[in-house]
């Protein structure tokens, strides 16, 4: 029984580590990258939204459920179990190794991200589907939200920071767990790469926020009036 339980934990840990990179990690990177279209203004960012909204709704919803929401839910919920069972070495030893600090930070960042994503998904994608209105996630809606409620800017800035760290450290941990980096030198190299990824992802997310806050003074294009047939 104990062996079966250990085997199950081993497998679940492997799946948890994998889903953190594919598809959750990949989705996060492309999500932040597409959000930087906000720097180009309303037309550029709304063009991204319109592209995805142009996909048939049943196909888009299926893709979101199976490629994003289910893997993300598993990674988040099982991650909470891991954080609850984990024993933190950093605070209980006089040797404050960087790896132990990273371990503790990974757990705390995961807990924060869990609640942040509950808020983010509920107020964006969930709200869009509930109201059947994509305008709620377009450029002007984000500009209004972030400029009228400064506390939301802080929440999103912290959300980007912690999510970027969580993914960057997850890359380092994934490579060790899956036997990709075995030697000490290889682990040092991937740790440096993870640090660079953390900085890059954080800046990308913060730049996207800046694009929304900056706004777009270009007048909203008027909708074309339907042609009126005249009889002579």
Which residue shows structure tokens 């305008």? 135
pLDDT tens-digit map of 3-49: 444 555 788 888 999 999 999 999 999 999 999 999 999 999 999 99
Whether 160 contacts 209, CB under 8 Å: yes
Strand ranges in 127-209 using DSSP code E only, listed in sequence order: none
In the predicted structure, residue 228 carries a pLDDT above the cut 50? no
pLDDT tens-digit map of 48-103: 999 999 999 999 999 999 999 999 999 999 998 887 776 555 455 544 556 777 77
Among 83-92, 173-182, 195-204, which stretch is predicted with the lowest mean pLDDT? 83-92
**DSSP class per residue in 19-70:** HHHTTHHHHHHHHHHHHGGGGG-HHHHHHHHHHHHTS-HHHHHHHHIIIIIH
How is residue 218 annotated by DSSP?
S
- Identify the CATH assignment for 2-86+97-214 out of 1.20.1300.10, 3.30.360.10, 3.40.50.2300, 2.60.40.1180: 1.20.1300.10
Mean per-residue pLDDT of the chain: 87
Q: How many CA atoms lie within 13 A of 223 on its CB side?
A: 2
Burial label, 230 (beta-carbon count in 10 A; 0-12, 13-18, 19+): exposed
CA R_g for the chain: 21
């Amino acid at each position: 029984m104990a062996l079966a339980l250990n085997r199950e934990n081993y497998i679940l840990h492997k799946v948890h580590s994998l889903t953190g990179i594919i598809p959750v990690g990949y989705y996060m990177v492309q999500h932040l990258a597409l959000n930087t279209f906000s720097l180009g203004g309303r037309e550029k960012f709304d063009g991204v939204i319109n592209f995805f909204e142009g996909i048939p709704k049943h196909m888009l919803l299926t893709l979101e459920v199976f490629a994003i929401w289910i893997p993300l839910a598993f990674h988040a919920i099982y991650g909470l179990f891991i954080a609850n069972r984990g024993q933190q070495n950093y605070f209980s030893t006089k040797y404050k190794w960087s790896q132990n600090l990273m371990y503790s930070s990974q757990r705390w960042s995961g807990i924060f991200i869990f609640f942040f994503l509950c808020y983010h998904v509920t107020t964006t994608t969930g709200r869009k589907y509930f109201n059947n209105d994509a305008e709620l996630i377009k450029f002007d809606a984000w500009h209004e939200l972030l400029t009228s409620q400064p506390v939301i800017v802080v929440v999103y800035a912290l959300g980007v920071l912690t999510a970027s760290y969580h993914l960057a450290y997850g890359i380092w941990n994934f490579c060790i767990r899956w036997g990709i980096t075995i030697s000490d030198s290889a682990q040092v190299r991937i740790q440096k790469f993870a640090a660079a990824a953390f900085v890059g992802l954080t800046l990308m997310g913060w730049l996207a926020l800046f694009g929304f806050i900056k706004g777009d003074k270009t007048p909203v294009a008027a909708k074309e009036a339907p042609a009126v047939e005249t009889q002579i």
